[in-house]
Amino acid sequence: MLKIRRSLLGALALSTSLFAAPLYAETLNIGVAGELASFDTSQVSGGVWESQVLMDVYEGLVKKAPDGEILPGMATSWEVSDDGKTYTFHMREDAKWSDGHPVTAEDFVFGWQHLLDPENASKYAYMLYPVVNAEAVNTGKKPLDALGVKSLDGGKTFQVTLNSPTPYFIQLLTHYTAYPAPKHAVEKYGDAWVNMNNIVTNGAFTPVEWISQSRITVTRNPEYYDADKVALDKVNYFTIEDRNAGVSRFRAGEIDILREYSSSMYGWLKDNLPEATHMSPYLGSYYYVLNSREGRPTADKRVRKALNLAVRRKVISEQIMAGTFLPSLSFVPKGIANYDVQKMQLSDDMDARMAEAKKLLAEAGYGPDNPLELTLRYNTTDEHKKIAIAIAAMWRPLGVKVNMFNSEATVHYQTIQEGKFDVARAGWIADYNDAENFLSLLYTGVGNNYGGYSNPEFDKLLDKAAVTQDAEKREALLEKAEQLAMDDYALIPLLYYVARNLVDPSIEGWEDNVEDDHPSRWISFTD
Amino acid sequence: MLNYTLKRLAMAVPTLLVIITLSFFLMRIAPGGPFDGERALSPAIEANLRAAYHLDEPLVMQYLRYVGNLLQGDFGPSFKYKDFSVTELIAQGFPVSLELGFWAILLALLIGLPLGIIAALKRNSAIDYGVMGTALAGIAVPNFVIAPLLALTFGVLLAWLPAGGWNGGAWQNMVLPVIALSIQQIAYLARMMRASMIEVLGSHFIRTARAKGLSESKVILRHALRPALLPVVSYLGPAIAGIVTGSVVIEQIFGLPGIGRYFVQAALNRDYTLVMGTVVFYGGLIVLLNLVVDLIYSALDPQIRYDD
């Protein structure tokens, strides 16, 4: 029966367009890797799976096309002042919350204040720190209304003032921290506004049921301004933590899209479900942090270079990870917008590299009598373990003795933030599509700068890029900064992440993209 | 009997208090906290979070606050699943785990006990070796192997049953997880029943019964069964508490919304309130089921009397 329905819809889609109004009820079942922390975007914990649900039920000032391109969302157009510090957004006049209440600039002012309110203790509040007074508000030094956002013309215009021109600001608006919050509902229900009975959303879908650890169900929001172009009636997000179980459920036809299958299954899936198996570049960097703090062997640039020289990235990518990660020599992942990645300069001749590495270690005072001994920490997963063992083996010919420690993620990150390691596994997935999001992790004194890398010249370049409006000049500054860090061997770039999805071949409107964002509003079924 | 029950229930209070105190402080001693993750928080943001959850207060204050709230039946908010309170999470998940656990135990009893008795009666025969060999395999093969195999065979290849999901508790969705949950229990029960039955069958009163000329079935059913069940019953108390509070493996593989995963995930996330909630809940359940076991004991064995 379902098949017939879908083929009818398929015929219709062919005859009119992809976004034809659907005739029959269509439900999309998506398997996501974890549980959403909250429908209150200020309380979200940062799992990549969370944004899938949130982007379906909320819409920010801008939204994403199937290919990841930015389209107008709640704002239909915007202007930037000459100094690049003031953005004026013109709100969509027919935008409504799912209860029919209009979405106005007030909801954005309220939502952003809600996020930055210290009482709400949002983990991701710093995303909006480019806004004037955001940090002061978030640290309780200034009242909420000091925030540099305004609702003008009776809510028809939203104006944001930034501390400095922030060229990636529009990119940043795609993140869920920049979504609005329904002021009228929060005022009416208080914290309980997120309960399934009270919640209102402004996206293409709206939540109707949440069984913790099992399923979230959303249905098409009839008040959404583009509701007649949304093909799906209902989307179920199933929490599937066991990745192999996810593949089983996909094969059994219980889910139509599985977000992230396990890398070890890639070979089998590629051979057996070639049409459903998707793998594409993703804005994520898998790297080893080198501790540059005083007193650590890795504080010596020669040691850092030697360790980099001895790592065979292609072997890790192809033989250990079966091609589900791509070898990398840069910190910023390939595919980031308006940017050319700057690679660490290492020759392809492995023998020459090993010889140079040995020489460098000898110069640094390490040799058979005084072997280099390193503490390598990683968080406990099979993938990280395999990679750590391989890298330790690659360093062994240099006479490096590696002491490996693994711990659960919580302990791992706490330990490396305290600087108690020489080498440590880390990864970073882009919050927004801009090189700055990665490079700022190497800025002196930043919390996520686990290795304590510090180069005043690097910091200066980043500071300068932050106030440069000209896109090309800014790109040049950021590229120069990355090259500087690579020349310093500030870390060990290892792999670029890839997005791995299983998508039922009868689905249309799915396009692989570097941010791996796939709003369900573009999805439809055809046969 | 009533006096005894009340006394036992009263004794549960200090027991639970010890459990609460120990787990509260052990959790805080564990390295890492609820806000440590891949992304370091700025000191200001971390301070906001600590204040919001009262983690900035002295530990003793936090402890007293927790116990105080607990006495009012408030387990507090979850650190991780923010749209739910701990009470809501347990209230939503426990019925699922309970239902699965109930069927799994029932299945295990219906299959495990008769198998154990048969093996005991046919000691050292091919049947005995067959049953005990299978039981050993059942114990040895962990459920994280059995469960995916079941899902693959019956969910994907044969497509007889759903490979996962709860679907509001439809029986089709329950079959595979119940089987996966019960296999180890069947094996344990069969082995335990066999051993205990063999021991009882060798005792004097059985010899007397046989000497009186009773039929073998009467000897087994009327005389041997009840004493042979005693060790099984005492095993079942904690085992039931364990099974009805869910299994993280089975829940993750079949995607079931039970509470088993919270025991593991809450600890990994350092979700202090959820850890405490699950520990107190589980502790209470154990205390209760142990009491039930003791009461069943007196029904099975006339020598045991609790009247004072």
Give contacts of B255 with chain A, Cβ < 8 Å: 214, 238-240, 242, 245, 249
Going through A320-390 in order, the beta strands assigned E by DSSP cover 326-327, 373-379
Check: CB of residue A519 under 8 Å from CB of residue A56.
Answer: yes
Tokens of B133: 């060999």
How large a percentage of chain A has pLDDT more than 70? 95
The ipTM is: 0.84
The CA distance from B293 to the nearest CA of chain A, in Å, is 32
- Average pLDDT value for residue range A292-314: 96
B170 in contact with A at a CB cutoff of 8 Å? Answer: no
Q: Cα angle at A497 between A493 and A501, to 5 degrees?
A: 175
Alpha-carbon radius of gyration of chain A: 25
Contact residues, B window 46-105, toward A, CB-based 8 Å cutoff: 47-49, 51-53, 80-84, 88-89, 92-93
* Interface with chain A: mutation pick from B29, B45, B146, highest number of A CBs within 10 Å: B45
Closest CA to A252 of B255, B180, B141: B255
Q: Phi/psi at A146 (nearest 5 deg)? A: -80, -10
- Average pLDDT value for residue range A372-387: 92
- Return mean pLDDT, chain A: 91
The beta-carbon neighbor of B255 closest among A139, A194, A238 is A238
Give contacts of B270 with chain A, Cβ < 8 Å: 410
Residues whose CB is less than 8 angstroms from the CB of residue A189 and which lie 6 or more positions away in sequence, other chains included: A195, A198
Closest CA to A223 of A245, A249, A203: A203
- Average pLDDT value for residue range B281-303: 85
* pLDDT at residue number B192: 94
**DSSP label at residue A492:** E
Residues whose CB is less than 8 angstroms from the CB of residue A362 and which lie 6 or more positions away in sequence, other chains included: none
**Is residue B180 predicted with pLDDT exceeding 90?**
yes
Instruction: Write B293-300 long-range contacts (CB < 8 A, 24+).
Output: B293/B233, B293/B234, B293/B236, B293/B237, B294/B8, B295/B1, B295/B5, B296/B233, B297/B230, B297/B233, B297/B234, B298/B1, B300/B226, B300/B227, B300/B229, B300/B230, B300/B233
Q: Which CATH architecture describes the domain A16-242+504-525? A: 3-Layer(aba) Sandwich (3.40)
Domains A16-242+504-525 and A282-498 share a fold: no
How far apart are the C-alpha atoms of B27 and B275, rounded to whole Å? 8
How far apart are the C-alpha atoms of A472 and B214, rounded to whole Å? 100
**Is residue A144 predicted with pLDDT exceeding 90?**
yes
Q: Which residue of B has its CA nearest to A425?
A: B38
The CA distance from B153 to the nearest CA of chain A, in Å, is 10
Q: What is the pLDDT of residues B214-234, one digit of tens each?
A: 888 888 888 899 889 989 988
- Residue type for B55, please? L
* pLDDT at residue number A7: 40
Closest CA to A308 of A92, A464, A468, A486: A486
Give contacts of A448 with chain B, Cβ < 8 Å: 39-40
The beta-carbon neighbor of A240 closest among B42, B255, B257 is B255
Closest CA to A442 of A392, A484, A383: A484
**Is residue A514 predicted with pLDDT exceeding 50?**
yes
* pLDDT at residue number B222: 85
Q: What is the pLDDT of residues B246-282, one digit of tens each?
A: 888 899 899 898 999 888 888 888 899 999 999 999 9
* pLDDT at residue number A25: 64
Check: CB of residue B156 under 8 Å from CB of residue A248.
Answer: yes
Q: What is the pLDDT of residues A404-457, one digit of tens each?
A: 999 888 788 888 988 999 999 999 999 889 999 999 999 998 888 999 999 999
| CATH code of the region A282-498 | 3.10.105.10
How many Cβ atoms are within 10 Å of A268's Cβ, its own excluded?
Answer: 13
Check: CB of residue A354 under 8 Å from CB of residue A400.
Answer: no
Check: CB of residue A240 under 8 Å from CB of residue A258.
Answer: yes
The CA distance from A446 to the nearest CA of chain B, in Å, is 8
Q: What is the pLDDT of residues A222-243, one digit of tens each?
A: 999 999 999 999 999 998 888 8
Mind spelling out the 3-state secondary structure of B247-304? Answer: CHHHHHHHCCCCCHHHHHHHHHHCCHHHHHHHHHHHHHHHHHHHHHHHHHHHHHCCCC
Tokens of A384: 């990280």
Contact residues, B window 222-251, toward A, CB-based 8 Å cutoff: 251
* pLDDT at residue number B301: 77
Q: pTM value?
A: 0.86
Check CB contact under 8 Å for B166 and A211.
Answer: yes
Tokens of A513: 């993209």
Give contacts of B32 with chain A, Cβ < 8 Å: 408, 410-411, 413-414
First and final C-alpha spacing in chain B? 8
**Is residue A340 predicted with pLDDT exceeding 90?**
yes
Give contacts of A242 with chain B, Cβ < 8 Å: 148, 252-253, 255
Strands A277-290 and A257-259: unpaired
* pLDDT at residue number A31: 94
Domain boundaries, given as residue ranges, for chain A = 16-242+504-525, 282-498
Q: Collapse the DSSP code of A218 into the 3-class scheme (helix H, G, I; strand E, B; otherwise coil) and give the result.
A: strand
Q: Collapse the DSSP code of A146 into the 3-class scheme (helix H, G, I; strand E, B; otherwise coil) and give the result.
A: helix
Check: CB of residue B194 under 8 Å from CB of residue B186.
Answer: no
Residues whose CB is less than 8 angstroms from the CB of residue A69 and which lie 6 or more positions away in sequence, other chains included: none
Higher pLDDT, A85 or B40: A85
- DSSP states along chain B: -HHHHHHHHHHHHHHHHHHHHHHHHHHHHSSS-TT-SSSPPPHHHHHHHHHHTTTTS-HHHHHHHHHHHHHTT---B-SSSTTSBHHHHHHHHHHHHHHHHHHHHHHHHHHHHHHHHHHHHTTTSHHHHHHHHHHHHHHHS-HHHHHHHHIIIIIIIS-SS-SS--GGG-HHHHHHHHHHHHHHHHHHHHHHHHHHHHHHHTSHHHHHHHHTT--HHHIIIIIIHHHHHHHHHHHHHHHHHHHHT--HHHHHHHT---SHHHHHHHHHHT-HHHHHHHHHHHHHHHHHHHHHHHHHHHHH-TT-----
Check: CB of residue A193 under 8 Å from CB of residue A182.
Answer: yes
The count of CB pairs under 8 A between chains A and B is 159
Check CB contact under 8 Å for B163 and A245.
Answer: yes
Check CB contact under 8 Å for A410 and B32.
Answer: yes
Confidence tier at A366 by pLDDT (50, 70, 90): very high
- Average pLDDT value for residue range A57-61: 97
Give contacts of B88 with chain A, Cβ < 8 Å: 212
For residue A237, list its beta bridge partners.
Answer: A30, A216
Check CB contact under 8 Å for B257 and A240.
Answer: no
How far apart are the C-alpha atoms of A244 and A250, rounded to whole Å? 10
Give contacts of B42 with chain A, Cβ < 8 Å: 126, 447
Confidence tier at A20 by pLDDT (50, 70, 90): very low
Check: CB of residue A498 under 8 Å from CB of residue A34.
Answer: no
Tokens of A504: 């039922």
Check CB contact under 8 Å for B164 and A249.
Answer: yes
For residue A406, list its beta bridge partners.
Answer: A378
Going through A33-131 in order, the beta strands assigned E by DSSP cover 62-64, 70-72, 75-80, 86-91
How far apart are the C-alpha atoms of B230 and B117, rounded to whole Å? 14
Give contacts of A238 with chain B, Cβ < 8 Å: 165, 255
B271 in contact with A at a CB cutoff of 8 Å? Answer: no
**Is residue A362 predicted with pLDDT exceeding 80?**
yes
- Average pLDDT value for residue range B159-164: 90
Q: Given its phi and psi angles, is residue A322 left (phi above 0), alpha (psi -120 to 50 degrees) or beta?
A: left
How large a percentage of chain B has pLDDT more than 70? 99
Give contacts of B148 with chain A, Cβ < 8 Å: 242, 244-245, 248
Q: Which helix (H) or strand (E) holds A369?
A: none
Give contacts of B256 with chain A, Cβ < 8 Å: 214
Q: Collapse the DSSP code of A205 into the 3-class scheme (helix H, G, I; strand E, B; otherwise coil) and give the result.
A: strand
The CA distance from B106 to the nearest CA of chain A, in Å, is 25
- By CB neighbour count within 10 A (0-12 exposed, 13-18 middle, 19+ buried), where does A56 fall? buried
* Interface with chain A: mutation pick from B27, B48, B88, highest number of A CBs within 10 Å: B48
A197 in contact with B at a CB cutoff of 8 Å? Answer: no
**Is residue B207 predicted with pLDDT exceeding 60?**
yes
First and final C-alpha spacing in chain A? 13
Angle between helices B272-300 and B260-269 (to 10 degrees): 140
How far apart are the C-alpha atoms of B238 and B233, rounded to whole Å? 10
Closest CA to A145 of A169, A122, A112: A112
Q: Collapse the DSSP code of A130 into the 3-class scheme (helix H, G, I; strand E, B; otherwise coil) and give the result.
A: coil
Check CB contact under 8 Å for B155 and A122.
Answer: no
**Count of residues in chain A:** 527
Tokens of A247: 């593949």
A381 in contact with B at a CB cutoff of 8 Å? Answer: no
How far apart are the C-alpha atoms of A333 and A516, rounded to whole Å? 14
The CA distance from A450 to the nearest CA of chain B, in Å, is 9
- Average pLDDT value for residue range A8-17: 39
- The domains of chain B, with CATH numbers, are 90-255 (1.10.3720.10)
* pLDDT at residue number B41: 81
Place of tokens 């029960």: B189
Q: Which residue of B has its CA nearest to A45?
A: B80
Alpha-carbon radius of gyration of chain B: 24
Place of tokens 């019964």: B209
- Average pLDDT value for residue range A282-310: 96
Confidence tier at B1 by pLDDT (50, 70, 90): confident
